[in-house]
Structure 1
Amino acid sequence: MSTTDQQAARPRLAVPELLIGIGLLACAGAVAWQTLSIPVSPLYSKVGPTVFPYITMVGMTILSLLLIVAALRGGWQPEEEKETPTDWKAMGIVAVGLVANLVLIQPLGFTAASVIMFVLICHGFGSRHPLRDVLLGLILALAAYFGFARALGVNIGAGFIENQLNTGLDSIIRMLRG
């Protein structure tokens, strides 16, 4: 077997995939670190506020280790996919959408910030139907908001839209109760 055949048979280290695996492992470490800071009352018997974060951390750790092993074996991307150039403009639009959500959730509320993020991410992935994206984003954001706020009682950032809808729903509920 020649040297070139040996090099072809041995998988190349997939650096981008390795960085993703290491990044996910670092995120798992951050979840563990933050979970350790959650105060746990001795009144909790077996299931407390840290159970699901720890389950998430274990899952992230296992996934990151699998990704690192795959990267060491040559990566998980097919060769033709590796040759496709990165669309930095699309990635930038997606990143702007994520940052916009972080920046806008406080002043505008969860729903408006989520719709803006949804539309930008859809655009980054190639959608050229902003009205449809706004409507879908609105439906998903309202479902998520009311799922958390009404069903679970968790405040995830009420803004103008949420306050108006809450006022309307409260009026309807009062009216139905008589």
Structure 2
Amino acid sequence: MSTSDQQAPPRRLAMPELLIGIGLLACAAAVAWQTLAIPVSPLYSKVGPTVFPYLTMTGMLVLSLLLIVAALRGGWQPEEEKETPTDWKAMGFVAAGLVANLLLIHPLGFTAASVIMFVLICYGFGSKHPLRDALLGLILALAAYFGFARALGVNIGAGFIENQLNSVIDAIIGMARG
């Protein structure tokens, strides 16, 4: 039998990959829905509080469509990866991080909840350096918080840490002006 007589196996629908693409598409729809609910003052000219959520939603939409197309073409995972068992313990830490963020953002504030989420997710991905992860999570969370709070004027969940830092920043600004 020659190589021209052999045919490649027909492409199959990769159901797990398709579900990931559809899930990401649903997340993009949720971002769009929630972004439409953000009140926008007519004082904003072009850049307002909805610019970054719309950019995020657009990126999620494009990625979800690419994932769905890849799944319809047989998936993106190599065959040997499809045989790898799911690490449920790692998946549990990632899920715990996301749930912890959801439950703790109101009582503790954005920064503390984000640091806890970051450490749990890093551990789920195999990190064995929780102090380094907490410090990196703190830097990223503070940058995100102050980017939204100070630059865009959007409160994404001030807690003890944010309130203390805001007091220090306001005092420094007050001394600089006076």
Q: TM-score range by the shorter chain?
A: 0.7 to 0.9
Q: Deviations over 1:94-121 (max 9, x none)?
A: 1100110111010001111111111111
In the TM superposition, 1:25-40 aligns within 5 A as 25-34=25-34
How far has the Cα of 1:176 moved from its partner? 2.1
Q: How far, CA to CA, are the matches of 1:58 and 1:107 in structure 2?
A: 31
- The residue number in structure 1 matching 2:99 is 99
Contact 2:49 2:154 in 1 (8 A): no
Identity of aligned residues (%): 87
How far has the Cα of 1:35 moved from its partner? 5.4
Identify the range of structure 1 (104-113 vs 49-58) with the bigger mean alpha-carbon deviation. Answer: 49-58
The runs of 5 or more residues in structure 2 that have no matched partner are none
Name the SS for the 1:76 alignment partner. coil
CA, structure 1 residues 50+125, in 2 after alignment: closer, same or farther (shift >3 Å)?
closer
Name the SS for the 2:104 alignment partner. helix
CA, structure 1 residues 32+149, in 2 after alignment: closer, same or farther (shift >3 Å)?
closer
Name the SS for the 1:9 alignment partner. coil
Q: How far, CA to CA, are the matches of 2:151 and 2:45 in structure 1?
A: 25
Identify the range of structure 1 (25-34 vs 92-101) with the bigger mean alpha-carbon deviation. Answer: 25-34
Q: How far, CA to CA, are the matches of 1:138 and 1:156 in structure 2?
A: 15
Give the TM-score normalised by the residue count of structure 2: 0.81
1:156 aligns with 2:156: yes
1:169 aligns with 2:169: yes
Q: CA RMSD in A?
A: 3.1
Which 4+ stretches in 1 moved above 2 angstroms? 5-8, 24-66
What count of residue pairs does the alignment treat as equivalent? 175
Give the TM-score normalised by the residue count of structure 1: 0.81
